[in-house]
A and B are shown apart, each in its own frame.
Chain A
């Protein structure tokens, strides 16, 4: 049996709990959105650089398979060193996870980086819209 004073304060506790829950529910996505916005440029650049480094390494390996001259081997060596940028990418990604981002947000950031040039398409459409 709750005492009278507890019965009097119960609505306050319920309201505080509800406010806390609401705050947590709203704040978490807001927090994640803030972290995403703050780090989009940095992370997006690393996504691009690592992707390019991996592609260049793959192509350098292909070239090395076709020719073993010193120049090709040197380029393969450079491509291997170039892959270090992927460690920067990995470390930044882990840092963002520490700050609360989940794979969903990270994939959204990667997608934004990959499709950064998509605004060009809109410009092209706007330029040529009169033709439709």
Chain B
């Protein structure tokens, strides 16, 4: 009798301890999160919030392309002949393994060789901004390009550095005109180039691009396809055809594809508890959707987040005044275009200067930027610049203070925006 009583007691105590600890057991909680959620109320709230904020099916965002032009564009995209006096192709900085970016904080332009760290160490010309991914570029409504929006479609037409001489009414085609004439990006900055081409005049850019167009027309592989596809004689080929082919390729190769989130919103697809919690945060207390809204999860407007600055910056001395460089309007200082979020989990590092190595930290920078910087070793000047960025960022719609666990839930939600490039 005593024996059985002590057994019962032991079992009861064990059950009590087990019941107390299960609610706090991390592996168990993780396993629960990995399974599909059954919280129908929150799932419905998330679906409605997504639709209210412009979620769309990938198929509805695609602008059709012409396969022959796409193939010519692919060859041009991968050709180092795009560089007037160097050897760098578009592909060198837009690699599949880095989610169509280069995986580096600042881009490495002309003179750079290899991938990743090898490229950073190759003495190429450092460009002061993080390479932007291509996902969704050229899709319906994706009309604002680059970190500072220096090419965009306005109510009265294309707004760009071409002024009234924009080479196309398609902003993607206009944007495709720019890298080939950017010093350090695809043009080596030499005294000869400065004497011959560098001036505040579109005609100088045109003369570089005429030379590039002839180079592609003369190319043994690309030339015949280019001439046949566009129905041009060799001497009549202009950079318009080159930019059009590039745009066709980018529009096709990096087009939107269905994601787990699309399947969840429109087809009742599964979602885990962590993703669901992250989605509710995204559209709720995180206030992420106040800027990351619409079908591409961007409002295509310009905002400020007090990210740390990596590298010398567009304005030198570790400063990048962002949108101001395109508009010269003081109200635009330190503003950058809201980044779209598809495949964002694959495009580290983050921010306009690539100063943030993980998505968790990129999210934290939105509401707790001081956590990412050690101000003591900074110079007075660096701290002073930081205060200015903090001031600008503090006027934005800030998220509620989120816990680390909530940040991880947001990251889990963002994995739902991944898709694979499968065009090959």
Residues of A within 8 A of B (CB): 38, 45, 49, 52-53, 56, 71, 74-75, 77-85
Contacts and interface: CB of A to CB of B under 8 A. Distances in A.
Given A74-B53, A75-B397, A77-B52, A82 B284 contact: yes
A84 B397 contact: no
Contacts of A71: 290
Interface string B385-413: 00000000000010011010000000000
B256 interface: no
B20 to A, nearest CB: 8
List the 9 closest A-B pairs by CB distance, nearest first. Answer: A81-B284, A82-B284, A82-B285, A81-B283, A78-B287, A81-B49, A84-B280, A74-B290, A52-B400
A66 B386 CA distance: 33
B338 interface: no
A45 B406 CA distance: 12
Interface in B5-19: none
Contacts of A74: 53, 289-290, 293
Given A49-B400, A53-B285, A75-B397, A81 B45 contact: yes
Interface string B33-55: 00000000010010001001100
Given A53-B400, A77-B49, A85 B290 contact: no
B40 to A, nearest CB: 13
A19 B145 CA distance: 78
B403 A78 contact: no
19 contacts: A49-B285, A52-B401, A53-B284, A74-B53, A74-B290, A75-B287, A77-B49, A77-B283, A78-B289, A78-B290, A81-B49, A81-B280, A81-B284, A82-B284, A82-B285, A82-B287, A82-B400, A84-B42, A85-B284
A85 B285 contact: yes
Contacts of B20: 38
Nearest to A99: B20
**Interface hub of B287, B397, B401, B403 (most chain A Cβ within 10 A):** B287
Given A52-B400, A82-B285, A84-B280, 19 more contacts: A38-B20, A49-B285, A56-B400, A71-B290, A74-B53, A74-B290, A74-B293, A75-B397, A77-B49, A78-B284, A78-B289, A79-B284, A80-B284, A81-B49, A81-B285, A82-B287, A83-B284, A84-B42, A85-B285
Contact of A45 (B285, B290, B397, B403): B403
Contact of A78 (B42, B283, B401): B283
Contacts of A52: 285, 400-401
Nearest to B19: A99
B400 A84 contact: no
**Interface hub of A77, A81, A82 (most chain B Cβ within 10 A):** A81
A80 B45 CA distance: 10
A78 B45 CA distance: 11
A53 B287 CA distance: 11
A23 to B, nearest CB: 14
A49 B403 CA distance: 10
